[in-house]
Structure 1
Amino acid sequence: MNLSYWEIKTWLTNIDFTIVGSGIVGLNCALQLKKRFPKAKILILEKGMLPQGASTKNAGFACFGSLSEIIDDLKKHSEDAVLELIKKRINGLQLLRETLGDNALDYQNFGGYELFLESDDTLYNSCLSNKDDINQLLYSIFNTEVFSFKVNNFGFKNIKPNYCYNPFEGQIDTGKMMNALLDKVQSLGIKILNNTKVEELSEDSNAVKLKTNHFDFTTKKLCIATNGFAKQLNIPEVKPARAQVLITKPIDNLHIKGTFHLDEGYYYFRNIDNRILLGGGRNLDFQTEETTEFGQTEIIQNKLEDLLKTIILPNTSFEIDQRWSGIMGVGKQKNAVVKQLSKNVFCGVRLGGMGIAIGSLIGKELADLVE
């Protein structure tokens, strides 16, 4: 790119902090850095036209984990570790709401539901038998019981007659959230350059040199907030995980309200603007979905449509309006990777599909690492 003197002087000179990724983590990191260092010059680089990855492509669940997910986590982590994970998600959601306000998020507290397939006796019975223990575990956070079982009153078919209800789960408008975050960041004089991909980085004792697809420049400190794409910047603890989503056209008199989890959370759906948004199916083909390529596959899209027809909207005609995918960052452990990589390089990645819940907090933790 043929840059002018003015462009280099204004946008690419004397950069104190550069953040790679303008998603939830990157923008919250920028807000916290500006709070700590009001006079700092902060630049955010984003490889997409809009935030790539999952920040503008997720389902907008303000959740901290379904009953079956918590039961499964307790098989792999200690009680203290699981409790800490849940606390982080709750604190992260609270920070998001405090940062932007419920109106800007279009936050709605319709509650969350976990559905169980008619054929899945094992999972259903496990949730029934472990419910009281999990409620006791969470009592220190909520001071009341979280999970209870209710009769299916939404007209879903081919599921157990009772589903698990969580009154503390909500939903947001993902687009409004990201728009409000971008507005807040830019109002503070923080610059964002879109369509700019970091290709290489090198470091000396005082700074980091970045080579992008358009230009080279130097920054004093670098924060990596690319989540599902972290492996491309040599952070091996993170694997990409594609999540495919579809949304129906508006449906007259849609009575379904809430966030819904099905089949151990591998499928999830919600109401939005008189439509049903449905995503998931990664478990049908883990290998293919471990990718940073956006797109859809026939096996997953067919399954999503089948769930709409047989379970979610069995007696309602519908049309699919849009399909898309997002890229999450996952790994062997559920906790995020927030650490110093070298003297001047830091990262906050591997949000494990909980970006709405923990993204604000991870962004703050990433900024707090930087001296």
Structure 2
Amino acid sequence: MDKSPENKLCHLIDTLTLNKPELCLPEACGANITSNGKAITILMMNVRSVNKNFAALELLLCRLDLECDIIILTECWIENNKQFPSMTNYNKAYTKNCINQNGGVIVYSRSGIDIIIEEPSFLEANCLLLRIGVNVAIVALYRSPSFSKIDPFLDSLDSVLTNIKQFQTISVIGDLNIDIREHNYDGRSASYLELLASHGLIPSHTFPTRDNKCLDHVMLKSKCQCKTIVLDTYITDHRPVILNIVSKYANSICPKKVTTRIDLIKVGQQIKLLDFLDVLQSLDSNMATSLLMNKLMEVVKANTRLFKVPHNQRIIKPWITPGILRCIRTRDKMHTNIKENPNSNILKITYLR
């Protein structure tokens, strides 16, 4: 092996990463992610028809021990259907450019986040551009495997990245159907990675996300602390991916999930001490009602406090029980076993049963 300084430098560049990626179950990923209000958490997954697999997505969100600020879905099957499920406290945006029946990108962003979503002109892929505040830009992509040539796609990607070069943190996220694992046999990989490198973006992970190929990418350029996690679970035949960006600007763009609590005991005690003489002496029923409501609302307001809701106390779906979650984990383990032992008929029959 040539140990010249030039080859050492090339090897260093090839192995350069912005973070140490992890591969873990959804229930365990929260321990590796910052979720204290100083971070942006992005979930990306190939959903293979959003209407068909939306309930499975909600189950995945329930299993996560963290809360996602942005959810990016690829291969959404948008062409024949523009009616998509909504999520409480999230806004949604989707691509209008229909390339084929399987395509489309949908983005759910948490209400209150300072985000602008637009669809740039793009050849041979679906693309949404997310500008989060003034420092973070996300390019959400789905590129169909039906396109054999890559040059039109690369030209469009180059144009988009050039237009957002002023952002401090830039990420290209999505299902690109280009294998970027080391020693892969995908002839398009080199030109794709070279283009991204010319804009300062490098892979934040190379874990396999479908079969033994890394097709679901998180390409990243950032000076912030970042973390990429590939979830060891399958809703479709792709693994979901999480990107966590810790930014000093995150507090201004990511609202905290809070709720109000009323101290009913104190409310009752203070109501007993109120003077209702002006209410009782009023000859105008509307005035009396207004006086009464104002007195009661002042007491309630004085005994109301805001509290941040822990993630494990947030209910996404009332029917998601511990038993259902155990079944999901068992299903994922069986799926992993089948991948490792594809010739085992017993495992296949048990999994499909």
TM-score by length of 1: 0.21
TM-score by length of 2: 0.22
Task: Indicate the structure (1 or 2) with the bigger Cα radius of gyration.
Answer: 2
Q: Of the two structures, which has the highest relative contact order with CA contacts closer than 8 Å and spacing of 6 or more?
A: 1
